[in-house]
Amino acid sequence: MDKGADLTVAGIHKRYGQVRALSDVSLTVSAGEFLTILGPSGSGKTTLLKVVAGFETPDEGDVRVGGRDVTDLDPAQRNMGMVFQNYALFPHLTVERNVAFPLEMRGTPKAEIRTRVAEALAMVELTGFEQRLPRQLSGGQQQRVALARAIVFRPTLLLLDEPFGALDRKLREAMQLEVRRLQQRLGLTTLFITHDQEEALVMSDRIAVMDSGRLEQVGRPRDIYDAPASPLVADFVGESNILSGTMEAGGSVRLADGTAIRVTGEGPAAAPGAKVRILLRPERLGDAGDQPGAENQIAGTVVEAIYLGLSDKYRVRTAGGVELLARIGASRTARQYRAGEPITVGFHAADARIIEVR
């Protein structure tokens, strides 16, 4: 099948009355790439998708697909496949007629419609369900129909608006991988909207983190997670300890409670005396005894212990009153702590990274 086209949005502004929904959003998605817009609700991610799809007109900026300016084109002329949050299946049409709809709108010959609908349904493993009505299908099956309908006309771009929100966890994970495989097989340029950071990490070639109508950071999942550009990104993607302190000579940071910790993880340079914020992922914090060579050790008390199966999550308060989140992986030797017990946590200087200098 044809490779998808590349998508460029440049300098998009969109305002609703006093609310700035999008502020100077620029982004390029290369052909065949899976890019996720990740952000909390109200961050403007759905507005951006609507601008790309043509359901909203931007106040400023333009949208180009394959080098062609489509900003002023009607959605009907943009040739983009879209899966809606609630699937938007036509309730009065059978699965077959739903999937045939975009082809019928294009005046595709009947015989060709039949083969292509069968092809698309086979791709989402729904062969045999042609004559069912949407309400006779499970959520996951409805999702597949929506997907088949979005790809059957070989769109230049696939847009997915939080399509897995209504599915239970197991099904959601299965669908994530399935959609990803299908997208890669068809080489479809895909713009995916979600507020679920885990989903974004699993599926994407790149992630664009959005907040308050602005792009905070665009990068590969690993970069977003390991090297967040701001405390906001760090906080939104994964769990994090964000500690405030003052830079000291020799690569140490003195926290508000007086503890000094060594910080050598990559990050912006800070002169001694500068106020900094440090990111420390909870899974990099461990029982000091299990962390040989850890430069930093902090004693404290377990405030709360949560059993999560794969790991234990501890809320630890240090002697100086700083709260730390530690995730200690389940292993045969790992010690279990209970609330109130003393604990010493340790971490490597390289796992602490400055993410903001003020």
Partner 1 sequence: MTAGTASAGRSLRVAATERRAAFGAFLLTAPGLVFLGLLFAMPLIQLFALSVEGGTTEWYAKVFADGLYTTIFIRTFEIALFVTVTALLIGYPVAFFLATTTPTWRAIGFALVMLPFWTSVLVRTYAWMIILGRNGIVNRFLIDYGFIERPMTLLNTRFAVVLGMVHVMLPFMILPLYSAIVRVDPDLARAARGMGASRFQIFRRIYLPLTLHGIVAGVTLVFVVSLGFYITPALLGGGKVTMIAMVIEQQVREFLAWNFAGALSVVLLAITLVVFWLLNHWVARRVPPATGQGR
One-letter amino acid for residue 272 of the chain: P
Do the Cβ atoms of 35 and 206 come closer than 8 Å? Answer: yes
Residue 155: CB minimum distance to partner 1, A: 9
Q: Site for partner 1 (CB under 8 A): how many residues?
A: 27
Residue 307: count of CB within 10 angstroms of its CB:
10
Q: Are 260 and 229 in contact (CB under 8 A)?
A: no
Query: Counting contacts by CB under 8 A, is residue 260 touching partner 1?
Result: no
**How far apart are CB 100 and partner 1 at their closest, in Å?**
10
Q: Cα–Cα distance between 160 and 81 in angstroms, integer?
A: 8
Instruction: Confirm or reject binding of residue 350 to partner 1 (CB under 8 A).
Output: no
**Nearer to partner 1 among residue 70 and residue 294 (C-beta):** 70
Please tell me the distance from the alpha carbon of residue 241 to that of residue 263, in angstroms, as a whole number: 14
Closest to 66 (Cα-Cα) out of 2, 14, 120: 2
* Cβ neighbours of 209 (radius 10 Å): 28
Dihedral sign of CA atoms 139, 141, 147, 150 in order: negative
Q: How far is the CB of 160 from partner 1 (least distance, A)?
A: 13
Q: Write each residue from 34 to 73 as x if it is in contact with partner 1 (CB under 8 A), else as -, in one continuous string.
A: -------------------xxx------------------
Region of residue 20 (left: phi > 0; alpha: psi -120 to 50; beta: else): beta
Compute φ and ψ for 49, nearest 5 degrees.
-65, -40
Give the pairing type, strands 60-65 and 206-211. unpaired
In the bound state with partner 1, the residue whose beta carbon lies nearer, of 149 and 206, is 149
Q: x/- site string to partner 1, residues 73 to 112, per CB under 8 A? A: -xxxxxxxxx-xxx-x-xxx--------xx--xx------
Quick one: 159 or 352, whose CB is closer to partner 1?
A: 159
Contact present, 239 and 326 (Cβ < 8 Å): no
Cα separation, 121 vs 136, whole angstroms: 16
The residue (of 74 and 266) whose beta carbon lies closer to partner 1 is 74
Using the minimum distance from each CB to partner 1, give the nearer residue, 91 or 273. 91
Contact with partner 1 (CB under 8 A): which of 5, 95, 153, 210? 153
Closest approach of Cβ 147 to partner 1, in Å? 13
Q: Which is nearer to partner 1, 144 or 284 (CB)?
A: 144
Q: How far is the CB of 64 from partner 1 (least distance, A)?
A: 18
**Are 281 and 240 a contacting pair, CB within 8 Å?**
yes
Residue number with CB closer to partner 1 (56 or 312) = 56
CA atoms of 207 and 23, how far apart (whole Å): 18
Nearer to partner 1, 85 or 246 (CB): 85
- Residue nearer to partner 1 on the CB measure, 90 or 307: 90
Decide: is 26 part of the binding site for partner 1 (CB under 8 A): no
Would you give the binding string for partner 1 spanning residues 113-152, x where CB under 8 A is met? --------------------x-x-------------x---
Place of tokens 């906001």: 232
Q: What share of the chain is helix, strand, coil (3-state, %, to 5)?
A: 30, 35, 40
> Least CB distance from residue 42 to partner 1, whole Å?
19
Which residues bind to partner 1, rule: CB under 8 A? Answer: 53-55, 74-82, 84-86, 88, 90-92, 101-102, 105-106, 133, 135, 149, 153
